[in-house]
Amino acid sequence: MRIAHAARECKIQRCHSLEERERQLRSSGRLDDAGSARQQRERFELPKARLVLVVDQLEELFTSGFSQELRQRYVTALAGLVRSGRVFVLATLRNDFYASYQEFPDLIELTKPGGKFDLRPPTPSEIGNMIQLPAEAAGLHFEQERETGQRLDDALRDTASATPESLPLLEHVLSLLYDQQNSRGDGLLRWSDYRELGELRGALAKHAEAVFSTLGPDAQRVFPLVMLHLVTLGQGEEEVPNRRTVPYRDLVASGETDQDPKTGAQGFVDLFIEKRLLVADTDPQGEVTVGVAHEALLREWQRVKEWLAENREFLRMRDRLDSRLKLWLSRGKQRDDLLEPGLHLAEGEKLLKDFGASFSHEKRDYIYASVAERNRRRQVQARIRYAVVTAISVLAIVAGFQWLQAERHRQRAEKNAALARAEGARIAEVAGKLHDQLRQASWTSFNQAERQFRLGEWREGIALLARAIKFDPENAVASERFFQELIVHREKALLLPIASFAHQDTVESVAFSPDGSRILTASRDKTAKLWDAASGKLLVSFEHQAIVWYGVFSPDGARVLTASSSRTAKLWEAASGKPISFI
């Protein structure tokens, strides 16, 4: 006993030493050496229980419309469990998704060295054992064909060995052959049943079509709707159809209206589950889910292939929408994750219009929220445009008023010119000379304006342009330049406040000090405030218990009197804000 105890203590000390070494190696960035130290430590550790987490069909991480962010979070969680040293993770992944898992560095690290085991296609001998051994255990026999002498199990083995994709079909046809012999009770799997079922490649599709033909008109009519829920497209150029798992409730009519497009879907789904063409399961939250039992059904059943040819574009749009929806839900329904105006939102609206009745409430709410956000942005843009148009209109009115004044001067000049022509040739000659002088003065003012603009004196330049138009309203160059400057530099045409005096509520009265250097304001926020008129700086604040209606200065500006709705008036020192008396 003492020797065993000493050995145990030695192992514990050795483990502590290797654990400390592993920590030091990791902190220095020597991850490979740290991994070796961890492996050595694990050999000395005392036996302990570990959790085994089995992740079946990891490819659904890439086919179920999850966003890249959600995929990364899932992979990070798996990697964290593995690195904890207390969890074994066993994941299965189809080899046509190897390119997808290599997008994640954590998965690449976990699969080497020795972290990935490629299951090779079974040999003909192994396939033969899959067929024969369960049959022998059940006391079943395979029929031998009289003409050729070939046994049915050998024919199944040879056909299934041609391609690994035949294994799901083999499973299904063996199940159907078992059902046929079970109905007779003779324990013989027959060639005639095999041929009637459609042989290996046709059995699944023929069985599905036979089950479909037993459905009523309402249940047959919902075939496209059920496929819309249960089929998704794989990645890559080929876009191989894959199964998609959805809640059972999404396929059941709500009963709210007689025109529900899901009417009949429950009968369709229940029968296909009963015939093992669909499979039902329960997720960790207790939600019943439905999916296709064999993806081979999506590739072999002619009815599905024809439907896919017509609906591939819908599936692409639906998968893109699902990806954005899951990101929106996972991040707390943030506004930034809504469908962006343009192609994404147009696709969402089209899907809602054509298939909205079959969508879940969450999916409809997501599209409605995206449409509402687009409309909100449009309203904001419309208000901005309205403000810009209003500002331009004000400038145009100002310019129009100035133009009207110039036009009146022009009309007056024309009237005077008419009178002058009536008085005789001499006055007409004088008027002509005067017109020439005005035109010359207009161009002189225009040239002076251009020089002011170059010097940065915008107000002087605009005034000179106005004078040029006044001198010669027909000076189109000056007029065009005048309106151009008003539109481009409209902010310069608007007077800016010298200072701003802020309260928390409505300002009821304002008064200047006798010397004009200070301003006294009274407000509903229960204060009167004294400000520097030049800078807008707050000098003193006078507090009341209710609204302050009025405030005035004494003649010498040294005191301030304020009146409040609390039926009080207070006299204050203007410089310090100290109260002197109150009434």
- DSSP per residue, 144-175: BPTTT--BHHHHHHHHHHT-GGGHHHHHHHHH
Among 289-298, 421-430, 488-497, which stretch is predicted with the lowest mean pLDDT?
Answer: 488-497
Residue 1 has pLDDT above 50, yes or no: no
Instruction: Name the residue range of residue 449's domain.
Output: 387-493
Mean pLDDT of 262-266: 75
Specify whether 178 is located in the same domain as 272. yes
Which range of 37-51, 115-129, 372-386, 540-554 scores highest in mean pLDDT? It is 540-554
Domain tally, the chain: 4
- Any idea what the CATH number is for the domain that residue 535 is in? 2.40.10.480
Specify whether 563 is located in the same domain as 473. no
In a domain, 119, yes or no: no
Mean pLDDT of 279-291: 80
In a domain, 261, yes or no: yes
pLDDT at 7: 61
- Of 465, 493, 521, the one marking the end of a domain is 493
pLDDT digits (tens, 9 = 90+) for 310-362: 877 777 777 777 677 677 777 777 777 777 776 677 766 666 666 656 566 77
In a domain, 558, yes or no: yes
| SS3 track for 402-456 | HHHHHHHHHHHHHHHHHHHHHHCHHHHHHHHHHHHHHHHHHHHHHHHHHHHHHCC
pLDDT at 493: 55
Output 474 or 1, whichever has higher pLDDT: 474
- Of 247, 267, 302, the one marking the end of a domain is 302
Residue 292 has pLDDT above 60, yes or no: yes
Task: Return d(Cα 482, Cα 460) in angstroms, integer.
Answer: 12
User: Tokens for 481?
Assistant: 């330049």
In a domain, 367, yes or no: no
pLDDT digits (tens, 9 = 90+) for 526-572: 999 999 887 888 989 999 999 999 889 988 888 999 999 888 899 99
pLDDT at 428: 56
In a domain, 374, yes or no: no
> Under 8 Å CB-to-CB from 114, ≥6 apart: which residues?
none
How many other C-beta atoms are found inside a 10 Å radius of the C-beta of residue 412?
10
pLDDT at 314: 75
User: Tokens for 547?
Assistant: 């609204």
Provide the angle, in degrees to the nearest 10, between the axes of the packed helices 476-488 and 361-423.
150
Residue 273 has pLDDT above 70, yes or no: yes
Residue 507: in which H helix or E strand, if any?
Answer: strand 507-512
In a domain, 373, yes or no: no
- Any idea what the CATH number is for the domain that residue 438 is in? 1.25.40
Residue 283 has pLDDT above 60, yes or no: yes
Residue 41 has pLDDT above 50, yes or no: yes
Which range of 128-132, 254-258, 450-454, 546-550 scores highest in mean pLDDT? It is 546-550
> Under 8 Å CB-to-CB from 400, ≥6 apart: which residues?
none
Task: Compute CA distances 25 → 12, 20, 425, whole Å.
Answer: 20, 9, 112
Cis bond leading into 284, ω under 30°?
Answer: no
Q: Which residues pair with 552 in a beta bridge?
A: 561
Specify whether 525 is located in the same domain as 555. yes
Output 81 or 7, whichever has higher pLDDT: 81
Say if CB 500 and CB 543 are below 8 A apart: no
Work out the mean pLDDT of the chain and round it to a whole number.
79
Q: pLDDT exceeding 90 applies to what percent of the chain?
A: 4
Task: Return d(Cα 304, Cα 447) in angstroms, integer.
Answer: 80
pLDDT digits (tens, 9 = 90+) for 82-129: 887 778 888 888 776 777 777 888 888 877 767 787 777 788 888 888
pLDDT bin (cut points 50, 70, 90) of residue 5 is: low
- Of 56, 78, 110, the one marking the end of a domain is 110
* Dihedral angle of Cα 304, 310, 314, 316, to the nearest 10 degrees: 80
